């Protein structure tokens, strides 16, 4: 966390609650333990804090609007590239006015994937390292940008074919999940059930390579369990 995370969150929250005082907020920094109300803004003021702190140019602001537990709107902004990704449930996903669509890549071995690692990667046994190694020899390439929100939007835009990660929080993924789905992609848990913003694991893809990704993850689970 940096001072920029805090200041950005305070500015965003103040603006939203100034316009909509009856709404609630769930955000990464000072509102992470808030109880969402019927209408709730889900905010990551700086997704990719480590990148920002090191001057690495890959970070974003992610804002989603959840109504009665369903994410209806999402926005992810990359300030350095001046790219704004927008999604509306049932209304599609867009960037720069152009409608987004997931890629047409059919096979895992031709796919470009992205992932991330949890902050406790050094100490937690569930750290994504084994899955990373397994995917590395099954796909065309893997990228690790440091901003899950942007990775998901890149899947929606067809720049990436798939994404998987552990230990995401609602503010990391709410807008991105909506963008992927509205662009024609799939978002699930590791077991294939529909993924939600409060789940701690995700597989997002163009849909075509999803079975292959699930196969790799299932093999990893069996190996970990000694089956």
* pLDDT higher than 60, residue 227: no
pLDDT in tens, 107-142: 999 999 999 987 777 777 778 999 999 999 999 999
* pLDDT higher than 70, residue 61: yes
pLDDT in tens, 72-118: 999 999 999 999 999 999 999 999 999 999 999 999 999 999 999 87
Contacts of 214 by beta carbon, 8 Å cutoff, 6+ apart: 188, 190, 192, 203
pTM: 0.94
Q: Higher-confidence residue: 159 or 4?
A: 159
**What's the pLDDT band for 155 if we cut at 50, 70, 90?**
very high
Residue with tokens 């990719």: 48
Average pLDDT over the chain, rounded to an integer: 93
Q: Nearest Cα to 163, choosing from 100, 98, 207?
A: 207
Q: CA 159 to CA 161: how far, in whole Å?
A: 7
The domain 108-225: what is its CATH number?
3.40.190.80
Superfamily of domain 3-99: Fructose-1,6-Bisphosphatase, subunit A, domain 1 (3.30.540.10)
List b or e across 50-79, with b for residues whose CB sees 16 or more CB atoms inside 10 angstroms.
Answer: ebbeeeeebbbbbbbbbeeeebbbbbbbbe
Residue 175 corresponds to which tokens in the numbers above?
A: 């807008």
Output the 3-class SS for 30-99.
Answer: CCCCCCCCCEEEEEEEEECHHHHHHCCCCCEEEEEEEECCEEEEEEEEECCCCEEEEEECCCEEEECCEE
* pLDDT higher than 80, residue 185: yes
List the domain boundaries for the chain: 3-99, 108-225
């Amino acid at each position: 966390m940096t001072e920029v995370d805090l200041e950005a969150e305070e500015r965003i929250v103040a603006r939203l609650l100034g316009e909509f005082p009856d709404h609630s907020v769930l955000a990464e920094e000072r509102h992470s333990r808030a109880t969402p109300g019927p209408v709730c803004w889900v905010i990551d003021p700086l997704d990719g804090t480590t990148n920002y702190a090191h001057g690495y140019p890959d970070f974003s602001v992610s804002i989603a609007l959840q109504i009665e537990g369903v994410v209806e709107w999402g926005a992810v902004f990359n300030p350095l590239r001046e790219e704004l990704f927008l999604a509306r449930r049932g209304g599609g996903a867009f960037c720069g006015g152009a409608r987004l669509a997931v890629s047409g890549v059919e096979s895992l071995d031709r796919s470009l994937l992205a992932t991330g690692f949890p902050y406790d990667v050094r100490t937690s046994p569930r750290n994504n390292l084994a899955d990373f190694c397994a995917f590395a020899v099954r796909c065309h390439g893997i990228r690790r940008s440091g901003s899950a929100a942007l990775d998901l939007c890149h899947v929606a835009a067809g720049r990436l074919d798939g994404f998987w990660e552990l230990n995401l929080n609602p503010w990391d993924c709410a807008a991105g999940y909506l963008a992927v789905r509205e662009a024609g992609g799939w978002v699930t848990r590791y077991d294939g059930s529909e993924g939600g913003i409060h789940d701690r694991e995700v597989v997002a893809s163009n849909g075509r390579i999803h079975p292959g990704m699930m196969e790799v993850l299932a093999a990893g689970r069996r190996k970990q369990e000694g089956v």
